[in-house]
Amino acid sequence: MTPLLVIADKEIRDALRNRWVISATLLMAGLAFSLTFLGSAPTGDLGASRLAVTVVSLSSLTIFLVPLIALMLAHDALVGEMERGTLLLLLAYPVTRSQVVLGKFMGQIVVMAIATVVGYGAAGLAVGLQGEGADPQSWHAFGALIASAVLLGAVFIALAHLVSAVARERGGAAGVAIGLWLLFVVLYDMGLLGILVATKGQIHEKIFPWLLLGNPTDIFRLYNLTAFENTRTFSGLAGLSGQMEFSPTWLLSALFAWVVVPLGAAMVVFKRREL
Amino acid sequence: MKTLGDESPRPPLFFQSLELFYGWGITIMNQTALAVEAVVKTYGNHHALNGVNFAVPAGVCMALLGHNGAGKTTLMKLLLGLTRPTSGQITVLGTNPALAGPEFRRQIGFLPENVIFHAELTGEETLKHYARLKGENPNRQNELLERVGLAHAARRRVKGYSKGMRQRLGLAQALLGQPRLLMLDEPTTGLDPMLRHEFYQVIQELRSAGVTILLSSHVLTELEARTDLAMILEHGRITAFGTLDELRREAALPVRLRIRASDPEQVMTALNGITARQTAPEELELTAAVEEKMTILRTLMASGIDVSDIEIQLPTLDHVYAHFGREKPAKEEK
């Protein structure tokens, strides 16, 4: 086993042992189920695929929930070990600092993936297997939702690692993590809305889509609400998708860049960090 | 008293010590395990180490002494390559630790001060994890737990361990993979005298096997006869370095003699010129320079006085440490 895998394995074991995995999974399953079944009443006899509707509602849930879980899971990954005094011993072993960051990152992605796949998957299966529930395209959209939710989780785990590499203490890291959540989930979009209102919607149509790329949750939303025909219909974005600047592949690549850049920065900062 | 930190690049005492070890003719000691030359380490305005020079031959057990904040832990971090010196040169097992690859780390065992493990894992799981990190077979670690006396608690979670048990688990992980160099930061804290004794037995075995050992401790008397070399750090400078005998000689601390005789008056007369103090009806106590000790004994034997017992108290390492610890640093740090 390479040091990378040993560290990732330890991260997963720790999360299993201190019940992180089970609580995150239950939280996601609980919210997904209530949103799916309580929220499905309005679809009634419209002939809508219920799974497609589920994808739309889970997309909104994901934007709130996944960044929060990811930040909580990973914000003290490095600073926590520094503060507890376990990092000194770990680094005295034949492991590089980059391996520590990458190993922890990989382990936390697995934790996030288990919670998302099991939590959302259970709700999706319950809906999809109910009678007229789902057509193949909806299943496709649902699979894409889960995969992109894990990718969104990876973005925020990478951001949390950067916070953790910079922070002097755990409390500070937690504060910054909450700040990041507020910024990307609430404030950024409010800011964009403010710009739209202030410019009376006159902001250039070539600029506005690019501004959306500045927020990973917006990229995630755009991807899930416009990539598939049937989800477009229910998300009210059917009109928009025609004029969309970015293809689904483009959006996924942008999301991927949101993983690579903060993670790379976290490694650079952590490498230079004085112990 | 020499202040080694002020000299460069290597202190003469090092050569003396090296010569001494060569003189013993032990083949495993024919190379230098650690060499530190003119090392300065600053954190902002704080000089953690201020021009440190020393070298330790392979196979030697060296005690690192000094108050909290004297620079012991910083020195260990530098030797492990966990941080780089502001200036100066460090060579450990023939390489620069800050640039060395995984093979270097595989040859080193480290026990940090106040070692902490993940509380939710069992002792066995903890050791397996570290064995994997070192590229060792994780299923062969029970013997190591046995060696540090933790076999009975192997399947208990670390959160239920006492301080002493954690310390022993820490020692077990440091011994993973048969290291050539062991660095132990305050290894005996939290161990009762019995465990301490067992700990030093393990250290003794490792010494015999040719492992170079660097250990820091606050309990100085327990290092007596257990280390080959001692180094005292004060304010980031070396105030003393050498074998314990050399340090004793350098400190020139007096020996204390307690003489029991039926007629103390007679003894006083015989030892004309040496101040003695009567501590009991048939007991005298006197302090004298080490070199006077034999003269006194000879005089007493030759005088024919009825001496029933002579107790000689050599200065302990604590006394030596107190002596060097009192030294002020040569230059005040800015």
| Cβ-based contacts of A10 with chain B (< 8 Å) | 118, 129
Radius of gyration of chain B (CA): 23
Q: Measure the CA–CA gap between A22 and B114, rounded to whole angstroms.
A: 32
State whether B121 and A13 contact (CB < 8 Å): yes
- Residue B30 — pLDDT band, cuts 50, 70, 90? low
- Residue B2 — pLDDT band, cuts 50, 70, 90? very low
Q: Describe the strand order of the beta sheet including B307-313 as a list of residue ranges.
A: B276-280, B283-288, B255-261, B307-313
- In Å, what is the CA distance from B62 to each residue of A98, B33, B59, B226? 33, 11, 10, 9
Residue with tokens 């180490």: B49
Q: Measure the CA–CA gap between B266 and B287, rounded to whole angstroms.
A: 18
Q: Return the residue of A nearest to B100 by Cα.
A: A94
- Residue B160 — pLDDT band, cuts 50, 70, 90? very high
- In Å, what is the CA distance from B87 to each residue of B23, B39, B40, B226, B232? 33, 6, 5, 33, 21
Does B103 lie at the interface with A, CB-CB under 8 angstroms?
Answer: yes
Q: Measure the CA–CA gap between A18 and B123, rounded to whole angstroms.
A: 16
- Give one DSSP letter per residue of A145-200, joined into a string: HHHHHHHHHHHHHHHHHHHHHH-SSHHHHHHHHHHHHIIIIIIHHHHHHHHHHHTT
Q: Measure the CA–CA gap between B35 and B96, rounded to whole angstroms.
A: 10
Residue type at B255 in one-letter notation:
V
Q: Measure the CA–CA gap between A40 and A51, rounded to whole angstroms.
A: 10
- Residue B143 — pLDDT band, cuts 50, 70, 90? confident
Q: Return the residue of A nearest to B136 by Cα.
A: A1
pLDDT at A236: 61
Total domain count, chain A: 1
Q: Measure the CA–CA gap between B45 and B63, rounded to whole angstroms.
A: 28
| Cβ-based contacts of B108 with chain A (< 8 Å) | 92
The predicted-structure confidence for B180-205, as pLDDT tens digits, reads as follows 999 999 888 878 888 888 888 888 89
Report the residue of A4, A93, A95 to disrupt the B interface, i.e. the one with the largest count of B CBs within 10 Å: A93
Domain span at A219:
3-272
What are the residues of chain A with a beta carbon less than 8 Å away from any beta carbon of chain B? Answer: 1, 3, 6-7, 9-10, 13-14, 17-18, 84-86, 88-96, 274-275
Q: ipTM of this complex > 0.95? A: no
Q: Measure the CA–CA gap between A125 and A133, rounded to whole angstroms.
A: 10
State whether B130 and A91 contact (CB < 8 Å): no
Q: What is the dihedral of CA B67, B72, B73, B78, to 10 degrees?
A: 160
Pick A14's closest partner by Cβ from B105, B114, B118.
B118
Q: Return the residue of B nearest to A89 by Cα.
A: B112
Residue type at B179 in one-letter notation:
P
Give the CA count within 13 Å in the CB-facing half-sphere of B218. 10
Pick A95's closest partner by Cβ from B43, B108, B133.
B133
Low-confidence ranges of chain A (pLDDT < 50): 45
| Cβ-based contacts of A9 with chain B (< 8 Å) | 132
Calculate helix-pair angle for A216-226, A136-166, nearest 10 degrees: 180
Pick from A214, A216, A212: nearest CA to A244: A212
Structure tokens at B117: 């493990």
3-state secondary structure of A275: coil
Distance of CA A256 to the CA centre of its chain: 11
The predicted-structure confidence for B266-301, as pLDDT tens digits, reads as follows 888 888 777 788 888 889 898 888 888 888 888 888
Q: What is the dihedral of CA B101, B103, B106, B111, to 10 degrees?
A: -30
Q: Measure the CA–CA gap between A70 and A181, rounded to whole angstroms.
A: 10
Q: Measure the CA–CA gap between A59 and A71, rounded to whole angstroms.
A: 18
**Dihedral class, residue B202 (left if φ above 0, else alpha if ψ from -120 to 50, else beta):** alpha
Minimal Cα–Cα distance from A264 to chain B, Å? Answer: 21
pLDDT at B159: 92
Q: What is the dihedral of CA A173, A175, A180, A185, to 10 degrees?
A: 140
Those residues whose C-beta lies under 8 Å from the C-beta of residue A27, and which sit 6 or more positions away, are A65, A69, A115, A119
Q: Return the residue of A nearest to B182 by Cα.
A: A92
| pLDDT-wise least confident of A212-221, B210-219, B313-322 | B313-322
Structure tokens at B194: 């019995």
Does B129 lie at the interface with A, CB-CB under 8 angstroms?
Answer: yes
pLDDT of B90 higher than 50: yes
Minimal Cα–Cα distance from B50 to chain A, Å? Answer: 18
pLDDT at A216: 96
Q: Return the residue of B nearest to A18 by Cα.
A: B120
Pick from B184, B179, B239, B172: nearest CA to B73: B184
Please indicate whether residue A255 or residue B245 has the higher confidence score (pLDDT).
Answer: A255
State whether B132 and A17 contact (CB < 8 Å): no
pLDDT at B149: 87
Q: Which helix H or strand E contains B233, and what residues bound it?
A: strand B229-234
Q: Describe the strand order of the beta sheet including B87-92 as a list of residue ranges.
A: B46-57, B32-43, B87-92
Minimal Cα–Cα distance from A12 to chain B, Å? Answer: 12
Minimal Cα–Cα distance from B47 to chain A, Å? Answer: 15
State whether A6 and B129 contact (CB < 8 Å): yes
Pick B120's closest partner by Cβ from A17, A89, A275.
A17
